[in-house]
Amino acid sequence: MNGKMTDLMNIVKEAEIIDDPAVIESFAHGYRGDVPMRPMFMVKPKNTDEVQKIVRWANETCTPLVPVSSGAPHLRGGTVPTAPGSVIVDLSGMDRIVKVDRRNRLALIEPGVTYTTLGPELKRHGLRIAMPLLPRKNKSVLTSLLEREPVVSPRYQWNMMEPLRALEIIWGNGDKFYSGGGVFRGEKEEDWKRGLVPVWGPGPGQLDFYKFVSAAQGSMGIVTWASVKCEVYPECRKLFFVPADRLEEAIEFVYLLLRYRFGDELFLMNKSCLAYVHARNADELESVKDTLPSWAVVVGITGGHILSKDRVEAREKDIRDIARGFGLKFIPQLRSLSGKEFGERIMRPCEEPYWKSRYSGEVQEVFFLTTLDRTPGFVAAMNEEADGLEYPAERIGVYLQPVHQGVGCHCEFIIPFDPDSRMDTRKTEELIRKSSLRLSDQGAFFSRPYGIWADMVYDRDAGTKTATKKIKEIFDPNNVMNPGKLCF
Amino acid sequence: MALPANVYKDLEDIVGSRNISGDPAVLDSYRYSLAHTAIHLGPFFDTFTPRGACVLLPGSTEEVRAIVELCNKHKIKFKASSTFWSAQGFPSEDDTIQLDMRRMDRILDIDKKNMFAVIEPGVIGATLQAEVMKVGLNTHIPGSGCSCSTLASATSYFGSGPSNLYGGWHYDNLLGLEWVMPTGEILRTGSLGQGCGWFCGEGPGPSMKGVARGFLGSKGSMGVYTKCAIKLFAWPGPECLPVEGTIPAYRTPLPDNFKAYTVAFPSWKAWADAAYAIWDAGIGYLAHRQFNMFGRDLKFAMVKILTDPTKTLSDLEELLADPEVQEITEQSKREFQIILVGMTKRDIEWQKKAFDEILERTGGWKVEAMDEPHIHDWVLLYMIRLGHKNLNLVFGGGYDGCFGLLGAADYGASNAEEAALFKKKWEKRGAIVDAGGDCMMGPIGGQGGGGTCLWENFTCFDSADRESTEGTFEFFDACTRFGLEKGWGVGMEKWNAVARGPDGKTTSKKKRDTIHLGSPQPSVFRYQHRVREAFNPNDLGDAYYETLDDT
Amino acid sequence: MALEDFALETDRCSQCSYCKWIPFDQMKSWRFAKNCPSVSYNNFNSYSARGRYAVSRSLIKKQIPYTDTVRHIVFSCMTCGSCDVSCKICRYNLYPLEMVRELKFKLVEDGQDLDEHRAVIESLKKEQNTMMQPKAVRGKWAEDLDVPRLFSQKAEILFHAGCRLSYDTEIQSSAVAAVQILQKAGLDVGIMGEREICCGGRIYSMGYRDEFARFAGENIAAWEKAGVKTVVTSCADGYHAFKRLYPEFGSRVEVLHTVELLHRLIMAKKLEFHSEVPMTVTYHDPCHLGRQGEPYVPWNGVEKKIKNQIIVYEPERPRYNGAFGVYDPPREILERIPGVRFLEMERIREYSWCCGAGGGVREAYPEYSGWTAAERIAEAKATGAEALVSACPWCERNFMDAVGDDSMKVFDIIDLVKLAM
Cβ atoms of A405 and A157 closer than 8 Å: yes
What is the C-alpha separation between A275 and A416, in angstroms, rounded?
13
What is the C-alpha separation between A72 and A142, in angstroms, rounded?
15
User: What are A63-111's pLDDT values in tens digits?
Assistant: 999 999 988 777 777 888 889 999 999 999 999 999 999 999 999 999 9
User: What are A401-441's pLDDT values in tens digits?
Assistant: 999 999 999 999 999 999 899 999 999 999 999 999 999 99
User: What are A349-372's pLDDT values in tens digits?
Assistant: 998 889 998 888 899 999 999 999
* A119-133, A203-217, B488-502, C382-396: segment of lowest average pLDDT: B488-502
What is the C-alpha separation between C54 and C99, in angstroms, rounded?
11
Determine the pLDDT at residue C369. 98
For chain A, what is the total number of helices (H) and then of strands (E)?
Answer: 16, 19
For residue C389, what is the DSSP state?
E
Contact call for B280 and A406, based on CB within 8 A: no
Helical residues (DSSP H) of B121-252, grouped into ranges: 125-133, 150-155, 164-167, 170-173, 209-212
Determine the pLDDT at residue B551. 65
B26, B106, B124, B244: best mutation site toward chain C, by most C Cβ within 10 Å? B26
Determine the pLDDT at residue A341. 92
Contact call for B241 and C25, based on CB within 8 A: yes
Task: Compute the nearest-CA separation of A159 from chain B (Å).
Answer: 5
Contact call for B147 and C16, based on CB within 8 A: yes
Q: DSSP 3-state assignment of C78?
A: coil
Please choose, from the candidates C99, C63, C69, the residue with its C-alpha nearest in 3D space to the C-alpha of residue C81: C99
What amino acid occupies position A386?
A: A
Q: Is B225's Cβ below 8 Å from some Cβ in A?
A: no
For residue C145, what is the DSSP state?
-
What is the C-alpha separation between A293 and A307, in angstroms, rounded?
34
Contact call for B188 and A215, based on CB within 8 A: no
Chains that touch B (3 or more CB pairs under 8 A): A, C
User: What are B395-426's pLDDT values in tens digits?
Assistant: 999 999 999 999 999 999 999 999 999 999 99
Query: In the predicted model, what is the mean pLDDT of residues C44-57?
Result: 98
Cβ-nearest to C18 among B32, B381, B390: B390
Q: Is C62's Cβ below 8 Å from some Cβ in B?
A: no
Q: How many other C-beta atoms lie within 10 A of the C-beta of residue B192?
A: 25
Indicate the pLDDT class of residue C407, thresholds 50, 70 and 90.
confident
Contacts of B131 (CB under 8 A, 6+ apart): B107, B110, B117, C29, C30
Interfacial B residues in 158-197 facing A (CB < 8 Å): 168, 171-172, 175, 185-191, 193-197
Check pLDDT > 90 for residue C403: yes
C339 domain residue, yes or no: no
Q: DSSP 3-state assignment of C305?
A: strand
What is the C-alpha separation between B340 and B347, in angstroms, rounded?
10
Q: Looking at the whole model, is its pTM more than 0.95?
A: yes
Topology classification of domain B391-494: GMP Synthetase; Chain A, domain 3 (3.30.300)
Check pLDDT > 80 for residue B158: yes
Q: Is B318's Cβ below 8 Å from some Cβ in C?
A: no
Topology classification of domain A97-232: 3.30.465
Q: DSSP 3-state assignment of B377?
A: helix
* Chain C residues inside the 8 Å CB shell of B25: 46, 55, 58, 64, 67, 69-70, 73
- If you average pLDDT over every residue of chain A, what do you get? 94
What is the C-alpha separation between B459 and A327, in angstroms, rounded?
57
Cβ-nearest to B411 among A194, A307, A464: A194
Q: Is C312's Cβ below 8 Å from some Cβ in B?
A: yes
What is the C-alpha separation between B144 and B392, in angstroms, rounded?
10
What amino acid occupies position C65?
A: P
Cβ atoms of B498 and B505 closer than 8 Å: no
Contact call for C44 and B397, based on CB within 8 A: no
Please choose, from the candidates B347, B341, B129, the residue with its C-alpha nearest in 3D space to the C-alpha of residue B237: B341
Task: Compute the nearest-CA separation of A53 from chain B (Å).
Answer: 19
Q: DSSP 3-state assignment of B145?
A: coil
Please choose, from the candidates C209, C206, C288, the residue with its C-alpha nearest in 3D space to the C-alpha of residue C2: C209
User: What are B338-359's pLDDT values in tens digits?
Assistant: 999 999 999 999 999 999 999 9
Q: How many other C-beta atoms lie within 10 A of the C-beta of residue B345?
A: 13
Determine the pLDDT at residue A12. 87
Q: Is C25's Cβ below 8 Å from some Cβ in B?
A: yes
What is the C-alpha separation between A365 and A355, in angstroms, rounded?
13
Determine the pLDDT at residue A30. 57
Contact call for C46 and B25, based on CB within 8 A: yes
Distance of CA B7 to the CA centre of its chain: 35
Percent of chain C at pLDDT above 70? 100
* Peptide bond between residue C315 and the one before it cis (omega within 30 degrees of 0): yes
Determine the pLDDT at residue A13. 81
User: What residue ranges do the domains of chain A occupy?
Assistant: 97-232, 237-345, 360-441
Q: What is the CATH number of the domain that holds C211?
A: 3.40.50.1860
φ and ψ at residue A2, rounded to 5 degrees:
-90, 175
Sign of CA dihedral B250, B253, B259, B263: positive
Contact call for B385 and C25, based on CB within 8 A: yes
Contact call for C312 and B313, based on CB within 8 A: yes
Q: Degrees (nearest 5) of the Cα angle A28, A29, A34? A: 100
Considering the domain A360-441 in this protein, what is its CATH number? Answer: 3.30.70
Contact call for C70 and B23, based on CB within 8 A: yes
Cβ atoms of A43 and A12 closer than 8 Å: yes
Percent of chain A at pLDDT above 90? 82
What is the C-alpha separation between A255 and A252, in angstroms, rounded?
5
Q: DSSP 3-state assignment of C17?
A: coil
Determine the pLDDT at residue A359. 84
**Residue in chain A lying closest to B528 (CA):** A207
Contact call for B194 and A259, based on CB within 8 A: no
C150 domain residue, yes or no: yes
A-B CB pairs within 8 A amount to 293
* Chain A residues inside the 8 Å CB shell of B115: 258-259, 405-407
What is the C-alpha separation between B236 and A152, in angstroms, rounded?
25
What is the C-alpha separation between B229 and B208, in angstroms, rounded?
15
What is the C-alpha separation between B110 and B108, in angstroms, rounded?
7
Q: Tell me the Ramachandran region of residue A431: left when phi exceeds 0, alpha when psi lies from -120 to 50, beta otherwise.
A: alpha
Determine the pLDDT at residue B288. 97
Cβ atoms of A338 and A344 closer than 8 Å: no
Query: Which architecture, in CATH terms, is B5-103?
Result: 2-Layer Sandwich (3.30)
Query: Which architecture, in CATH terms, is A237-345?
Result: 2-Layer Sandwich (3.30)
* Peptide bond between residue A39 and the one before it cis (omega within 30 degrees of 0): no
Q: Is B391's Cβ below 8 Å from some Cβ in C?
A: yes
What is the C-alpha separation between A392 and A415, in angstroms, rounded?
10
* Peptide bond between residue A204 and the one before it cis (omega within 30 degrees of 0): yes
C250 domain residue, yes or no: yes
For residue C317, what is the DSSP state?
P
**Residue in chain B lying closest to A254 (CA):** B113
Q: Do chains A and C touch (3 or more CB pairs under 8 A)?
A: no
Determine the pLDDT at residue A161. 97
Q: Is C299's Cβ below 8 Å from some Cβ in B?
A: no
**Total number of domains constituting chain C:** 1
Q: How many other C-beta atoms lie within 10 A of the C-beta of residue C407?
A: 8
Determine the pLDDT at residue C171. 97
Q: Is A233's Cβ below 8 Å from some Cβ in B?
A: no
What is the C-alpha separation between C378 and B539, in angstroms, rounded?
46
Cβ-nearest to B407 among A195, A259, A317: A195
Contact call for A369 and B191, based on CB within 8 A: yes
φ and ψ at residue C410, rounded to 5 degrees:
-125, 130
- If you average pLDDT over every residue of chain C, what do you get? 97
**What is the domain range of residue C171?**
126-267
User: What are C289-331's pLDDT values in tens digits?
Assistant: 999 999 999 999 999 999 999 999 999 999 999 999 999 999 9
Of the options 1.25.40, 1.20.5, 3.30.70, 1.10.10, the CATH number for the domain spanning B258-387: 3.30.70
Indicate the pLDDT class of residue C188, thresholds 50, 70 and 90.
very high
Determine the pLDDT at residue A35. 66
Query: What's the Cα-to-Cα distance from B529 to each of B532, B545, C42, rounded to whole Å?
Result: 5, 9, 39
What is the C-alpha separation between A196 and A190, in angstroms, rounded?
9
- If you average pLDDT over every residue of chain B, what do you get? 96
What amino acid occupies position C166?
A: S
Query: In the predicted model, what is the mean pLDDT of residues C60-67?
Result: 96
Contact call for B188 and A461, based on CB within 8 A: yes
User: What are the residues facing A16 on neighbouring strands?
Assistant: A44
Q: How many other C-beta atoms lie within 10 A of the C-beta of residue B513?
A: 17
Query: In the predicted model, what is the mean pLDDT of residues C382-390?
Result: 98
**Residue in chain B lying closest to C48 (CA):** B29
Cβ atoms of A75 and A30 closer than 8 Å: no
Please choose, from the candidates A230, A265, A257, the residue with its C-alpha nearest in 3D space to the C-alpha of residue A97: A230
Query: Which architecture, in CATH terms, is B107-234?
Result: 2-Layer Sandwich (3.30)
Q: How many other C-beta atoms lie within 10 A of the C-beta of residue A93?
A: 17
φ and ψ at residue B164, rounded to 5 degrees:
-45, -45
Please choose, from the candidates B175, B152, B130, B110, the residue with its C-alpha nearest in 3D space to the C-alpha of residue B386: B130
Check pLDDT > 60 for residue B134: yes
Element holding B406 (H helix, E strand):
strand B397-407
**Residue in chain C lying closest to B380 (CA):** C25
Please choose, from the candidates C126, C329, C159, C325, the residue with its C-alpha nearest in 3D space to the C-alpha of residue C244: C325
Sign of CA dihedral B80, B83, B89, B90: positive
Determine the pLDDT at residue B1. 55
**Residue in chain C lying closest to B240 (CA):** C28
Query: In the predicted model, what is the mean pLDDT of residues A117-141?
Result: 96
Check pLDDT > 90 for residue C212: yes
Check pLDDT > 90 for residue A200: yes
Contact call for C90 and B29, based on CB within 8 A: no
What ipTM does this complex have?
A: 0.97
Check pLDDT > 80 for residue B141: yes
Please choose, from the candidates B159, B336, B300, B291, the residue with its C-alpha nearest in 3D space to the C-alpha of residue B230: B159
Rounded to the nearest 5 percent, the helix, strand and coil shares of chain A are 35, 20, 40
For residue A28, what is the DSSP state?
-
Q: Is B50's Cβ below 8 Å from some Cβ in C?
A: no
Check pLDDT > 80 for residue A34: no
Rg of chain C over Cα atoms, rounded to whole angstroms, equals: 21
Interfacial C residues in 342-381 facing B (CB < 8 Å): 350
Contacts of C86 (CB under 8 A, 6+ apart): C18, C19, C20, C21, C22, C23, C35, C351
Q: How many other C-beta atoms lie within 10 A of the C-beta of residue A103?
A: 17
In the β-sheet with B224-231, what is the strand arrangement from edge to edge?
B107-111, B116-119, B224-231, B174-180, B186-188
Q: Is B312's Cβ below 8 Å from some Cβ in C?
A: yes
How big is chain C, counted in residues? 421
